[in-house]
Chain A
Amino acid sequence: MDRLEISDLIVAFDPHDGRRLPVRRAEVVEQLRAAGDARAARIVAGLPAGPDGVLEPAAVDRLLIGVHTELQRLSEELRIGRRLVHLLGPLLTAIRTTGVRGPYRLVDVGCGLGYLIRWLAATGALGPDVELVGVDLDAALVGEADRLARAEGLSCRFVHGDAFALPEAATVYVSTGVLHHFSEPALADFFRAQGASPALAFCHYDIAATGLAPVGAWVFHRARMRHPLGRHDGVASARRAHSDEALLRAAAAAGMRALLYEPRRAANPFCTTLRPVLAVRPPLEAPLRAALGRASRRLLGDEHFTPAAA
């Protein structure tokens, strides 16, 4: 059975200009049925559509903002911000020590409601020399992220569009919970685009692909999320998560030094629900390891993965 997420199917954007495209409800329902996911098909069949059968954009936007707001609760409970700072702090320290002058620009790709960027802005955890930018293709989510940031007077900004077509280059690209939306070939393209940019590093967190992940996702989404779409997609995400080996293989396409922090062999799966794949320009690896100190033993490259496992 194909593992599809409803939220990937009910919105569509023109890849060239980011314009929103109409989505026909019946086509999505049929796609989900063909994938053997009758429950997801029922959820989509219950979404409002106009007389032409096109899903109502405003209703879909409201739904996705609601689901992302609930999803943020999981990020808050699992202290995703603090988990990222644990690695991004040393990474930025490493960048500073190599003589690269600030300000540095952290770009969150597929930021959704921009929780990470807003949390970093609210806590100042990375220092005043780090500019915080969130980017997403979904105009409604970016608009809401911007509204929330302004409501709290946070020093960060949000951009609707392509994260790799910003007028100003990123120093570090980050994301949370985005990678499983890509197939493995698309993932390699995603990393390649970052390798081709002037960015010095990227650090993308996604669900740790363990046997426990779908069970844990079911428990948490059942306990914490109200809308059936959120519950469905939460479990589907965990099932779609890429293995450590697949992430390293794809990240190698960036032409940078690809690493995994806290992969399965270096972490307790009960303590690490999300783990990052990162890549740094080669001169940055040693200062990053120095800045991480003892924690650098959790940072593994492809030499730690046997060819058989890959």
Chain B
Amino acid sequence: MTPALPLALLGLTDAAFSGFRAYAGRDARIRKGRANVRAALRGLAVGAVLLLVPALAAVLWLAAAADRDRAYDTLAAGGRGFLLPLTCYAVAVALSLAAYFLLPFRAGTLAMVIGLGPLTLLRPLAVAAGCLAALLNGGGRPSLLVAGLAGAAVLCVEPAVHRRWYREVR
């Protein structure tokens, strides 16, 4: 199975959360459900554009390869390697979010303190681990390049959305 689809889904989901984070802490109103959704959509849009860069790099490398089947297999192996640490990270985030929203507030605090807060800080490390895994899983330099571009793209979404729409406190 090609890892492209789950990677794209993860990347776009992460972009939506990045949009939310870019907005969070810039608006002191109490009721801001719609503004949260708007910020997530902005993150999604910016992420979709930025993630075109690694997608285009992969396509160009495939198009230029003498043996496209082999090149595809190499990229797919790298993609699977990239996916592994990111999936672990995404599962940890999903479990923390579920605990935060579904459990009573004390357990929700626990989910925030040992889950969501530290996981935000660990995000760049998860991306770096993904890049390393892409290399070590047989993806070689091309996969490392694509993974690096994809990692940079997802890490750029939050600052980009923040600068474009949420630089000022509302």
Interface residues in chain A, defined as those with a beta carbon under 8 Å from any beta carbon in chain B: 62, 65-66, 68-70, 72-73, 77-79, 82-83, 86, 113, 115, 118-119, 122, 144, 148, 151-152, 154, 216, 219-220, 222-226, 268, 270-273
A272 in contact with B29 (CB, 8 Å)? no
A82 to B28, CA, bound (A): 17
Which 5 pairs, one residue from A and one from B, show the smallest C-beta to C-beta distance? A73-B25, A70-B25, A271-B106, A223-B120, A122-B30
CB-contact partner of A224 in B25, B105, B106, under 8 A: B25
Whole-angstrom distance from the CB of A219 to the nearest CB of chain B? 5
A222 to B122, CA, bound (A): 11
Whole-angstrom distance from the CB of B121 to the nearest CB of chain A? 5
0/1 interface trace, chain B 29-42, chain A, CB 8 Å (1 if under): 11100000000000
A235 to B13, CA, bound (A): 31
Instruction: Note all chain A residues with C-beta closer than 8 A to B29.
Output: 148, 151-152
Contact A79 B108, CB 8 Å, known A66-B169, A270-B113:
yes
B117 proximal to A (CB < 8 A): yes
Interface residues in chain B, defined as those with a beta carbon under 8 Å from any beta carbon in chain A: 24-31, 105-110, 112-114, 116-118, 120-121, 169
A69 in contact with B28 (CB, 8 Å)? yes
Whole-angstrom distance from the CB of B101 to the nearest CB of chain A? 11
A270 in contact with B110 (CB, 8 Å)? yes
A144 in contact with B106 (CB, 8 Å)? no
Whole-angstrom distance from the CB of B17 to the nearest CB of chain A? 13
- Most chain A CB atoms below 10 A, which of B29, B30, B106, B121: B30
**Identity of the chain B residue whose Cβ is nearest the Cβ of A119 in the assembled complex:** B30
B28 in contact with A115 (CB, 8 Å)? yes
B28 in contact with A144 (CB, 8 Å)? yes
A270 to B118, CA, bound (A): 13
A69 in contact with B109 (CB, 8 Å)? no
A305 to B121, CA, bound (A): 38
B30 in contact with A118 (CB, 8 Å)? yes
A270 in contact with B25 (CB, 8 Å)? no
CB-contact partner of B106 in A62, A72, A272, under 8 A: A272
A152 to B30, CA, bound (A): 8
B106 in contact with A268 (CB, 8 Å)? yes
Instruction: Note all chain A residues with C-beta closer than 8 A to B27.
Output: 69
A167 to B29, CA, bound (A): 28
A115 to B26, CA, bound (A): 14
**Identity of the chain A residue whose Cβ is nearest the Cβ of B162 in the assembled complex:** A226
B107 in contact with A69 (CB, 8 Å)? no
Give 29 A-B contacts (CB < 8 Å), ordered by A residue.
A62-B169, A69-B25, A69-B169, A77-B112, A77-B116, A78-B109, A78-B112, A79-B105, A79-B109, A82-B105, A83-B105, A115-B28, A115-B30, A119-B30, A151-B29, A152-B29, A152-B30, A216-B117, A219-B117, A219-B118, A220-B117, A223-B118, A223-B120, A224-B117, A268-B106, A270-B109, A270-B113, A270-B114, A273-B109
Given A70-B25, A224-B25, 4 other A-B residues pairs in contact with their CB atoms under 8 A: A72-B28, A223-B117, A270-B114, A273-B113
A57 to B115, CA, bound (A): 39
CB-contact partner of B121 in A78, A222, A270, under 8 A: A222
A71 to B68, CA, bound (A): 53
A65 to B26, CA, bound (A): 10
Instruction: Note all chain A residues with C-beta closer than 8 A to B31.
Output: 122, 152
A301 to B80, CA, bound (A): 58
CB-contact partner of B169 in A65, A122, A152, A224, under 8 A: A65
A69 to B28, CA, bound (A): 5
Contact A219 B106, CB 8 Å, known A69-B169, A148-B29, A270-B113:
no
CB-contact partner of A73 in B24, B105, B113, B116, under 8 A: B24
Instruction: Note all chain B residues with C-beta closer than 8 A to A62.
Output: 169
A40 to B109, CA, bound (A): 29
Instruction: Note all chain A residues with C-beta closer than 8 A to B30.
Output: 115, 118-119, 122, 148, 152, 154
Whole-angstrom distance from the CB of B16 to the nearest CB of chain A? 18
**Identity of the chain A residue whose Cβ is nearest the Cβ of B30 in the assembled complex:** A122
A225 in contact with B109 (CB, 8 Å)? no
**Identity of the chain A residue whose Cβ is nearest the Cβ of B100 in the assembled complex:** A77
Instruction: Note all chain A residues with C-beta closer than 8 A to B107.
Output: 271
